[in-house]
C-alpha cells in the first residue's frame, strides 16, 4: 500500500506529458495553417524562393490575327549567367523556329527550322539552307545593345541565386515601397493538377518596380542595364496581373496580365544543367544579311 502514491504520481506525469504533446500538436497545426500558410507569407515566401533559385523556365504564348508565338525561356544565374530561348512563330502557312542564347554581354541567335509554302520565281520551294542552323554572334561593339539575357532576367518577378542578406534587403524594399500591391483578403484558394494553389490579384507599381530592378542588378554585380530609369514611369498606371502560387512549395506557377490576357507559366525551378554557349558562330550581321538576301 505505501507504493500507491508513487504509482499515481507516475500516472499523472504521463497524462501531463500526453496532454502537453497534444497541445503542442494543436499549436503547430494552427501555426501551419494560420501563420506559415497565411496568403501574405506564401506570397513573400515565393519572392524569397525566386531570389534563391539558380534556374527557371518560363513559357509564354501570344495569339494574334492569323498566327501565334510560343516562347520557352530558361534563365540561369550563379556561376554562369545565361538564358536560352526556343521561339516558335506561326503566321499563315509559315512556321519559323528560332533559338537564342544570351549572356550579360553577348547575344547568339539561329533559325533552327523554317517551314513555308513560299516558292522562288521558277516555282521551286524556297531554299533556307544558308540560314538554317547557323549561329549568329553579336560583336564586342554591340555589347551595349544585347537583349536576350536581359529579356529573360528582367521579368515581372526577379529570379536569381542571391545570398540571404541581399534577398532580405531586396524583399524589404519590396514591402516598404509597395512594389507588389496585393489584396490578401481576396485570395482564391484552389487546386490545379493536384497541387494547392493561391490565386492573387496583384497591381505592380512601375516606378518602384524599376527602382527595385536597379537594386537587383547592382546586388548581383552585373553591368548597368539601359532603360531602367524609374523617372520615365512616373504617373504610369499600375500593371494589373493575377499570380498563381503553389501553396506548399511557394513557387510561382503562372502570371496572367489582365489587360491583354497574356499568360506566363513557370516550371523547372532550380533545374540543374548548364546552358551551352555556341562555339561555331558567324557575325550576327552576316546572319541578318543572309536573311535579307532570301527576300
**239-271 per-position pLDDT tens digit:** 999 999 999 999 999 999 999 889 999 999 998
pLDDT bucket at 138, cuts 50 / 70 / 90:
very high
pLDDT bucket at 46, cuts 50 / 70 / 90:
very high
CA separation, residue 25 to residues 30, 124, 274, 293 (Å): 9, 76, 43, 72
Q: Which long-range contacts (CB under 8 A, 24 or more apart) does 160-164 make?
A: 160/50, 160/51, 160/53, 160/77, 160/78, 160/216, 160/220, 161/52, 161/53, 161/54, 161/77, 161/78, 162/51, 162/52, 162/219, 162/220, 164/52
pLDDT bucket at 36, cuts 50 / 70 / 90:
low
Contact status, residue 243 vs residue 252, Cβ threshold 8 Å? yes
The pLDDT assigned to 227 comes to 82
What is d(CA 171, CA 181) in angstroms, rounded to the nearest whole number?
A: 13
**Span 277-293, average pLDDT:** 91
pLDDT bucket at 13, cuts 50 / 70 / 90:
low
Contact status, residue 157 vs residue 122, Cβ threshold 8 Å? no
**57-81 per-position pLDDT tens digit:** 999 988 888 889 999 999 999 888 9
What is d(CA 199, CA 191) in angstroms, rounded to the nearest whole number?
A: 10
pLDDT bucket at 224, cuts 50 / 70 / 90:
confident
**Span 79-97, average pLDDT:** 93
The pLDDT assigned to 124 comes to 79
The pLDDT assigned to 20 comes to 52
Q: Grid coordinates in use for 234?
A: 512616373
What is d(CA 208, CA 198) in angstroms, rounded to the nearest whole number?
A: 24
The pLDDT assigned to 279 comes to 94
Residue 143 clears pLDDT 80, i.e. is over it: no
pTM: 0.83
Residue 219 clears pLDDT 50, i.e. is over it: yes
Give the mean pLDDT of the chain.
87
**Span 217-245, average pLDDT:** 91
Written as one string, the DSSP assignment of 57-93 is EEEEEEEETTEEEEEEEEEE-SSS-EEEEEEEEEETT
Candidates 230, 232, 245, 163; CA nearest to 199 is: 245
137 φ/ψ angles, rounded to the nearest 5 degrees: -125, 135
Cβ atoms within 10 Å of 12's Cβ, excluding its own:
10
- The 3-state DSSP class for residue 217 equals helix
**187-215 per-position pLDDT tens digit:** 999 999 889 999 999 999 999 999 999 99
Candidates 260, 247, 231, 253; CA nearest to 64 is: 260
The pLDDT assigned to 27 comes to 47
Amino acid at each position: 500500500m505505501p507504493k500507491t502514491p508513487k504509482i499515481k504520481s507516475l500516472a499523472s506525469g504521463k497524462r501531463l506529458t500526453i496532454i502537453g504533446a497534444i497541445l503542442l500538436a494543436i499549436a503547430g497545426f494552427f501555426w501551419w495553417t494560420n501563420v506559415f500558410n497565411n496568403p501574405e507569407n506564401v506570397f513573400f515566401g515565393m519572392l524569397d524562393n525566386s531570389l534563391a533559385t539558380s534556374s527557371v523556365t518560363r513559357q509564354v504564348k501570344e495569339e494574334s490575327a492569323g498566327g501565334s508565338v510560343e516562347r520557352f525561356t530558361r534563365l540561369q544565374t550563379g556561376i554562369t549567367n545565361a538564358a536560352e530561348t526556343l521561339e516558335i512563330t506561326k503566321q499563315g502557312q509559315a512556321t519559323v523556329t528560332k533559338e537564342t542564347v544570351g549572356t550579360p554581354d553577348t547575344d547568339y541567335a539561329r533559325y533552327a527550322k523554317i517551314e513555308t509554302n513560299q516558292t522562288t520565281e521558277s516555282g521551286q520551294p524556297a531554299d533556307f539552307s544558308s540560314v538554317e542552323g547557323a549561329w549568329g554572334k553579336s560583336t564586342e561593339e554591340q555589347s551595349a545593345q544585347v537583349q536576350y539575357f536581359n529579356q529573360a532576367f528582367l521579368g515581372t518577378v526577379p529570379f536569381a541565386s542571391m545570398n540571404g542578406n541581399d534577398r532580405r534587403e531586396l524583399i524589404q524594399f519590396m514591402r516598404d515601397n509597395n512594389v507588389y500591391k496585393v489584396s490578401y483578403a481576396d485570395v482564391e484558394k484552389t487546386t490545379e493538377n493536384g497541387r494547392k494553389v493561391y490565386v492573387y490579384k496583384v497591381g505592380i507599381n512601375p516606378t518602384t518596380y524599376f527602382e527595385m530592378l536597379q537594386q537587383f542588378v547592382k546586388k548581383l554585380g552585373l553591368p548597368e542595364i539601359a532603360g531602367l530609369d524609374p523617372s520615365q514611369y512616373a504617373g504610369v498606371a499600375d500593371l494589373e496581373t493575377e499570380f498563381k502560387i503553389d501553396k506548399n512549395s511557394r513557387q510561382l506557377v503562372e502570371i496572367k496580365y489582365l489587360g491583354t490576357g497574356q499568360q506566363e507559366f513557370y516550371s523547372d525551378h532550380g533545374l540543374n544543367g548548364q546552358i551551352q554557349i555556341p562555339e561555331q558562330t558567324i557575325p550576327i550581321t552576316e546572319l541578318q544579311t543572309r536573311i535579307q538576301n532570301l527576300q
